[in-house]
Amino acid sequence: MSLTIDCLDRSRFKGEKDSLVLFAWEPERLDAEGWLDARKEKGLEEIAQRENFKGKPAEILIHYPEKGEPVTRLVVAGLGRKKEAKADSFRDAVAAAIKASLKQTDAIWVDIPRWPEKISLTILAQAAAEGAILASYRYAKHKSSDADKKDILKKVTLVVEKPEEVEAVKTGIKKGQILAEAVNFTRDLVNEPPSRKRPLDLAKTAKSLGSKQISVRIYTKAELQKMGMNAVLGVNAGSVNEPVFVHAVYKPKNNPKKKIGLVGKGITFDSGGLNIKTPYNHMLTMKMDMAGGATVLACLKAAEKLELPVEVQAFAPFTENMPGNNAYKPGDVIQAYNGKTIEILNTDAEGRVVLADALAFASKQKLDAIVDVATLTGAVLVALGDKITGLLANNEKLAQELIAASKISGEKIWQLPLAQEYKDRIRGKVGDWANISTRGATEPGTIIGGLFLEEFVDSAPWAHLDVAGTAWTDTDIPTCPPGGTGAIVRTLLEYLSNAN
Ligand code: BES
Ligand code: MN
Ligand code: ZN
C-alpha cells in the first residue's frame, strides 16, 4: 500500500525510534545544521570520509548512532553539486534514501534542506513526495512469499524549520502524491502479465475510473465494425481476443477554456504478428506495448484528482498483435477511420496502424491539442536510449509546451524533426500510405513513424511522444524497480496543469 506522507516543523520532531534523512552536497558533504551539534557533525563527517561518501547524486550513507541520540538510524543522501541543483536532485536523493529504508523502519523523517536556488518549498515538497512514493513502488502481486510482498515503512514526515512553512509543503505533498500514484497505476498495468490484461480486462479497468466528472465509453468489436475502425480491427484479426476502443472524458466543474486529447497505443501484447519478432528476446518485454494506453487513463484520473480546469479526453485502442489463421498480412490494404488506406508491409509496425484510427477519431472531437503516447519504434532506443523520450510535432508551440513541462517533471524529452523530406518513403504502391519504409538500415525509423501518424490527424495541433525506450527499465533506478516505469505521466500532468 501507498505511504502516508506528512509535514511537521522541527519543534514537533519526536523520532526517538525512527530514521532521519539528512542531505549532503558534493563536495561539501553534510548539511546537518540544527540537527547535530558541531562535535557530532564532525564525527559524522569523519565517517563519511572513511566510507568515501562524496554526496554524489542519490549516493547513500547509513549510520547507526549510539544510544541517547534523537534517532536510531541516520541516512545521509547525496544531492550532487550545488550549482547543478534542481528539484530532480531532491526527488532522486529522497528516492534513494527511502529505497534504502523500506525494510528497516516503519517511520522516517526527512529534513528539507536549505536550497541554493530559488525553488519554492512547495516544489521541493512535491519532489520529495514523488521520490518517496515512486521509490516504494513494487509489483509483487504474483509473488507468494511475504518477504517479497511486504515493506515495513509506512510513514514519511517532511520536516521544515518553521511552523508557518508547513502549509506550503502540504500543498506540494498533495500534488506529488497524485502524480506519483498516477505513475504507479501505469506501472501496475504495464507490469501485469499479458494474458491477464486482455482488451476486455482493460476496458473494465477503464470503466472503473468513471465518476461524476469522468464518463467512459467502451466501443466493442461489433461497434468498431460499424464505425469503420478497420485499422484496429486489422491488427486484431489474428487474435482470439476482441479489441476495444476506450474513449473517456474528464469534464471540470466549470466550463473549460481548453479541451486536450490524449491518445495512447494499447497493444496488450506485441508478438509482431505474422512478421513475428525474432530473436526471442525481442518479445520478452512486449506486454509493455500498452504503456501509452495505460498512461492516458492514468492522466485522466489524475486530472480529476488535481481538479484541473481543462477538459481531458483519453483515447485508447486495446488489442493484441498476434499471428493466426485470420491475421492481417503483408500486402493487405486497410481503410482507416478517416477514409485513407494503409498498405501493410510489415505486421510488426502495428502501433501506427491502430493509432491511425485513434488519431482520426480524436480529430473529430474538436480538441485544442492532441498528444499521443506510444511505444512505437525500436529506433528511438537507438537514437535516445532508455532515459529520453522522443518527441515529434506538427505544431511548434505545442512541442515547446511539452518540453517546458518536461523541465518541471525532470523526465527528459528530445524533439526530432517531422522531416517532410522523408514522406515519399511511405507512399503506398497500392494503398495511400505504407506502414513502413522499405529502405532498411538507412531509414530514420522514429521520424518515419511520426510522418505516418501525421497523415491521420486533422487540423488540431498534434504531438507524438515515442516512449518505446523510456516506458520500461531493465535496471533498478532510485525511483523505479526493473519493469514498467510510467514514463511521461508526470510530464503530461505538468503540461495539463499549465494548459489553460
Ligand atoms: N512495439 C514495437 C516497438 C518497440 C520496440 C517497443 C522495442 C519497445 C521496445 C513496435 O510495434 C514495433 O515492432 N516497431 C518496429 C517497427 C518496424 C517494423 C518498422 C520496430 O521498431 O522494429
Ligand atoms: Mn510491433
Ligand atoms: Zn508494438
Grid coordinates standing for 67?
544510544
CATH of domain 4-164: 3.40.220.10
pLDDT in tens, 137-188: 999 999 998 888 888 999 999 999 999 999 999 999 999 999 999 999 999 9
pLDDT of 452 reads 98
Q: If you search the block for the grid coordinates 512535491, which residue do you land on?
A: 126
Note the pTM of the prediction, 2 decimals.
Answer: 0.97
3-state secondary structure of 323: coil
- Which of 235, 290, 376 is the pocket-test mutation for ligand 1 (most atoms within 8 Å of CB)? 376
pLDDT of 1 reads 56
Give the helix ranges, DSSP H, for 247-305. Answer: 291-305
- Which residues have any ligand 1 atom within 6 Å of their CB? 270, 289, 346, 348-351, 375-379, 436, 445, 468
- Which of 377, 452, 472 is the pocket-test mutation for ligand 1 (most atoms within 8 Å of CB)? 377
CATH 3.40.220.10 positions along the chain are 4-164
User: Hey, which residues does 75 pair with through a beta bridge?
Assistant: 21, 62
pLDDT of 71 reads 82
Which atom from ligand 1 is nearest to the alpha carbon of 449? 19
Omega before residue 256 within 30° of 0, cis: no
Q: Which ligand is nearest to the CA of 266?
A: 3
pLDDT in tens, 258-299: 999 999 999 999 999 999 999 999 999 999 999 999 999 999
Burial class (CB in 10 A: 0-12, 13-18, 19+), 1: exposed
Question: Which has the closest alpha carbon to 344: 227, 431, 249, 461?
Answer: 431
Q: In what order do the strands lie in the sheet with 433-434?
A: 333-335, 341-343, 433-434
3-state secondary structure of 342: strand
CATH 3.40.630.10 positions along the chain are 187-497
Residue 331 Cα, ligand 1 centroid: separation in angstroms?
Answer: 19
**Residues having C-beta closer than 5 Å to ion ligand 3:** 267, 270, 289, 351
Q: Which ligand is nearest to the CA of 467?
A: 1
Q: Which residues of the chain have pLDDT under 50?
A: none
Could you give the CA distance from residue 492 to residue 490 in angstroms, rounded to a whole number? 5
CATH 3.40.630.10 fits 187-497, yes or no: yes
